Amino acid sequence: MRPSLRFSDLHFRLLAAGWLATGIAAPACGPGAGPEPPRSVPEVAAAAAAEVRRVIEEDGRGGAAFGIVVSGETVVAEGFGFADTEARTPARADHLYRIGSVTKPVTAMAMLRLVHLEKARFGDPVTEFVPELAEVENPYSWTPGPSIFQLATMTGGLAREPRNLPGYLVGAPQEWLETALRALDEVSFEYEPGTRYQYSNIGYAMLGAAVERAAGEPFMDHVRDNLLAPLGMDSSTFFPVPELEDRIAAGVTVKDDGSLDQETPAREHAGRGYKVPNGAMYSTVEDLGVFLRFLTGTEGEPFDSVIPAAFRQDNLTKAFSTGDLASGYGFGFMARRLEDADGASFTAYGHGGSVAGYRAAAWIEPETDAAVILLRNVGGDGLNLSELSRAALAEVVAALR
């Protein structure tokens, strides 16, 4: 067990990670200030949850769902603030939030499963499945184009987005592939495939297209039936469905003048054009807690029936630097080298996400099997959810060591 943690220490770790953006003043601290220091995982988790609650409720706009999971057991699962700001509907832990780019790990795991089943290979040129990609403007014509592995690890060289992006951000989810293929007319390569990291949303759309073609069935159906359903992720979906619709938190975006935009997030429930494999999903803290354990190689059922643990564990070794040696991007995950509350290093795996009116962060440390998930139905408020969730994760990891 690590040395005791002062609540004020936790407060300022979270403050340094991004609470300052709220403009909320820190409470007095110092010798004698605050309650007795928490010592156990439940106490550390409760302190983190209390701090998240305080900031969300003092902000007064929208809400959040916060979860901490250790070895598959939920330590914290709470909702704070409002699931619907206008209606003042209290947020619950089981509300669904859009998770933006946290969709990308789901898409990557769908492809990893197909690789395991030998329906695709890491080194296959994506053009074997998506020949349309061969028509993209490519100054590196001597290459065979990006491989499956390169697209999944953000080393495929494609630009982040197509030109004239707004024209490709409209359309129903069921039409995403048609929109993505049309967008290729305005996509180019920025780097030679395999030579450097380049975050690419259109690249992950092409990875989703390869999943669909390799599987021989629509992408969303394939992911639902072969990943989400077997894992028990019954509250995760690519678009609103009747049985989940009433649990979707209403998103708002804080505009530059401080007013709230509710119309854009509401309109985008009908579809975000080509952005399905790279950013369409809705989920909950509970479902993402399950998925993080699957992503990082937890053994046993239901995980091993989808992809064997050894295959998933080996996948964690496939990460590339994103510009500094403390961070990387792997086959469907971000990796960050961090320090826990005692100064000992550890690696966190996960992803962050953002769409109009919603943001998400989901991170896990595999050795302690500790995960933190933070979902928010407000965009543009200045909070860095990934930094906040990783700060809480550092505290939990230290308490477990």
Which of 34-43, 212-221, 235-244 comes out lowest in average pLDDT? 34-43
pLDDT band at 34, cuts 50/70/90? low
| Strand partners of residue 261 | 253
Could you tell me the CATH superfamily of domain 106-221? DD-peptidase/beta-lactamase superfamily (3.40.710.10)
pLDDT band at 6, cuts 50/70/90? very low
Mean of pLDDT values over 273-293: 98
Asked if 96 contacts 360 with a C-beta cutoff of 8 angstroms, the reply is no
pLDDT band at 379, cuts 50/70/90? very high
Give the DSSP H or E segment for 212.
helix 201-215
The arrangement of secondary structure in 56-100+236-390, i.e. its CATH architecture, is: 3-Layer(aba) Sandwich (3.40)
Residue type, 166: P
Asked if 344 contacts 98 with a C-beta cutoff of 8 angstroms, the reply is no
What integer pLDDT is reported at residue 1 of this predicted model?
33
What integer pLDDT is reported at residue 132 of this predicted model?
97
Closest by Cα among 101, 108, 105, 131 to 355: 101
* Distance from chain centroid for Cα 264: 21
- Sign of the four-CA dihedral 38, 42, 44, 48: negative
Mean of pLDDT values over 152-176: 96
In 241-330, beta strands by DSSP E: 252-254, 260-261, 282-283, 319-321, 327-330
What integer pLDDT is reported at residue 59 of this predicted model?
87
- Between helices 201-215 and 176-183, what is the axis angle to 10°? 130
Whole-number Å distance between alpha carbons of 101 and 89: 26
Asked if 309 contacts 91 with a C-beta cutoff of 8 angstroms, the reply is no
What integer pLDDT is reported at residue 39 of this predicted model?
64
pLDDT of 230 strictly over 70: yes
What integer pLDDT is reported at residue 323 of this predicted model?
79
DSSP string, 218-233: -HHHHHIIIIITTTT-
56-100+236-390 against 106-221: fold identical: yes
Domain residue ranges in the chain: 56-100+236-390, 106-221
What integer pLDDT is reported at residue 75 of this predicted model?
95
pLDDT of 143 strictly over 90: no
What integer pLDDT is reported at residue 141 of this predicted model?
84
pLDDT of 5 strictly over 70: no
Q: From residue 255, how far is each of 86, 261, 364, 382 by CA, in Å?
A: 16, 7, 32, 11
Give the DSSP H or E segment for 372.
strand 370-376
Closest by Cα among 30, 112, 74, 141 to 315: 112
- What are the φ and ψ backbone dihedral angles of 347, each rounded to 5 degrees? -110, 125
Whole-number Å distance between alpha carbons of 66 and 177: 33
pLDDT band at 319, cuts 50/70/90? confident
> What percent of the chain lies above the pLDDT cut of 90?
79
Using a cut of 0.85, tell me whether the model's pTM lies above it: yes
Between 11 and 371, whose confidence is greater?
371
Count of CB atoms within 10 A of residue 94's CB? 14
What integer pLDDT is reported at residue 299 of this predicted model?
96
Count of CB atoms within 10 A of residue 195's CB? 12
Whole-number Å distance between alpha carbons of 229 and 302: 10
Per-residue pLDDT tens over the stretch 339-357: 988 889 999 999 999 999 9
Mean of pLDDT values over 132-154: 93
**Chain-wide mean pLDDT for the chain?**
90
